[in-house]
Amino acid sequence: MASPFCGISTCGINAAAPTVFSTNKALSLVSPTFVPLAQEIRPRRRCNFRVNAAKELHFNKDGSAMRKLQNGVNKLANLVGVTLGPKGRNVVLETKYGPPRIVNDGVTVAKEVELEDPIENIGAKLVRQAAAKTNDLAGDGTTTSVILAQGMITEGVKIVGAGANPVQIAHGIEKTAKALVYELQKMSKEVKDSELVDVAAVSAGNDYAIGNMIADAVSKVGRHGVVTLEEGKSSENSLYVVEGMQFDRGYISPYFVTDGERMTVEYNNCKLLLVDKKINSAKDLIAILEDAITSGYPVLIIAEDIEQEALAALVLNRLRGSLQIAAIRAPGFGERRSQYLDDIATLTGGTVIRDEFGVPLHKADKTVLGTAAKVVITKDSTTIIGDGTTQEEVIKRVTQIKNQIEATEQEYEKEKLNERIAKLYGGVAIIQVGAQTETELKEKKLRVEDALNATKAAVEEGIVVGGGCTLVRLASKVDAIKQTLENDEQKVGAEIVRKSLSYPLKLIAENAGINGSVVIEKVRNSNLFSSMHLIFSNLRITNLNLPSSRSLPLTTPGMVIMPPLESMRI
């Protein structure tokens, strides 16, 4: 039987229009947008004229360039800073299409900042990178990263402007920050279940309704379970738990993305093709993908790997809209990969394609496919939610794994087996965020997302006293660190870090209507400051908030600026 699936050569995806092949011309009746495989497409020479306009060079001989960089940093940080703390306020963002957005999330505000002056804009972008890195790795604490970076730049520019060696100062900042991270780890403690509510609520703007919901979700699926977010249909938040599995494998190609804003792939009622080997040719997939196109259901391929020719064919048909498709590499390696694939097959009711036995891939049809109620794929992870029809099989599979745990003596192997049980049996807790309006929904979802990320990080790495208090107390460790530095200028870099550590607490207090300088002195002389029931901050966020000196423009004597768009037009 012929297939609507098209394959292309590797060189086609890299250089020119792909070579497409098909075995059935009649397939165009089923999928008008599908490209016949037998059709040969010759590469066409593109006539794109590129205008290379001269770039602008700026030097910091009189300090003017550095001052402009600092102005850009301050403009972004001052705007983002109003959101910091439990009494932080909101920022309204104008959108090109749709209603304005009201947000309380630092990285979201930072992404929207574009300054007219090109040098100031570079300063804003440098600090935005610090926020983006914190957001990617911890999911929260972005505003604190921006304020810390602002503090280091403000204090550093004063010293460099007085004639100090910026390179040695940068080394001092770098070494001090690394040493403080070690001190921070010693100050942390493991988070208790009763404290998860506080951790989540603080990150959600002191919203204890959100904090209780996230803590409830974690208790239902376990500390190592999976919790995801969705936009709800009603005005109220809701929580429910379904069977599911998550693992650290993202999409192979970003061209599979269905949500361009969040860069995720999401499919409902998705079929799964599980292959315990490399897929070398698109022809091997024809039988299965032909039915997918005809019936209109999405397919997720999980395989050891997919070669370029087969991957290019999947991407081509995805972009043309003829096929709802995504592909990921199977989790694990070797024998453990085979075990994970069997677990996924158990959850979804599918059959794993293997060379050793069973049906070969090129003869496989839709009967080998598993079924998931929903799949969500990011660049780093995949979540598979079962449709609830395989509960008995899952219980049997978990029993088998428990028997393996009893039979093995290696602790590492026991840990991996318990991890598989958690993925199979723990399920996925889904929080549906509700609101009255779209604007409120977007803002509320950002807060819940921050709270969830903070809770996950706290579970993994522990907590410290929050509200900026821990950063202020870290300043007392700087004197000992200075004794390990090589020269006086590096010690000046350590002093820059010491002074910048008080910036977040000062701003948190001022946003709460309290004198920041007074609060800092109280924290230095007491055990706790609370601006609004603020108790805990997770260690990963506080750790990542200590910026690297490489992200600071103190060692920047010159800049290369892109010319204005008007000068690039013909």
Determine how many CB atoms are found less than 10 A away from the CB of residue 260. Answer: 8
Q: Are residues 272 and 285 in the same domain?
A: yes
336: in domain = yes
332 & 442 share domain: no
Residue 11 lies in a domain: no
Give domain status of residue 51, yes or no. no
Q: What is the pLDDT of residue 7?
A: 54
pLDDT value at residue 37: 43
Q: What is the pLDDT of residue 15?
A: 39
Phi-psi region of 68 (alpha: psi -120 to 50; beta: other; left: phi over 0): alpha
Q: What is the CATH number of the domain that holds 324?
A: 3.50.7.10
Q: Who has greater pLDDT, 93 or 547?
A: 93
Q: Residue 566 falls within a domain, yes or no?
A: no
Task: Indicate if 388 and 435 belong to the same structural domain.
Answer: no
519 and 438 fall within a common domain: no
Residue pLDDT, tens place only, 329-364: 999 888 899 999 999 999 999 999 998 777 888 888
- Shared domain for 376 and 317, answered yes or no, is yes
Same domain for 301 and 404? yes
| Reported pTM | 0.59
Going by C-alpha positions, the residue among 331, 281, 329 that lies closest to residue 305 is 329
Residue 536 domain flag: yes
Axis crossing angle, helix 142-161 with helix 488-500, rounded to the nearest 10 = 140
Instruction: Give me the percent of the chain exceeding a pLDDT of 70.
Output: 81
What is the domain extent for residue 306?
A: 246-422
Q: Strands 91-93 and 101-103: what pairing?
A: antiparallel
CA dist., res. 140 & res. 317, Å (int):
37
- The CATH number for 222's domain is 3.30.260.10
Query: Do residues 268 and 403 share a domain?
Result: yes
505 and 456 assigned to the same domain: no
- CA-atom Rg of the chain in angstroms: 27
Question: Up-side HSE of residue 16: CA atoms within 13 Å toward CB?
Answer: 9
Question: Do both 359 and 267 map to the same domain?
Answer: yes
Number of domains in the chain: 3
Model pLDDT for residues 394-447, shown as the tens digit of each residue: 889 988 998 998 888 887 888 788 778 878 876 678 899 998 888 888 888 888
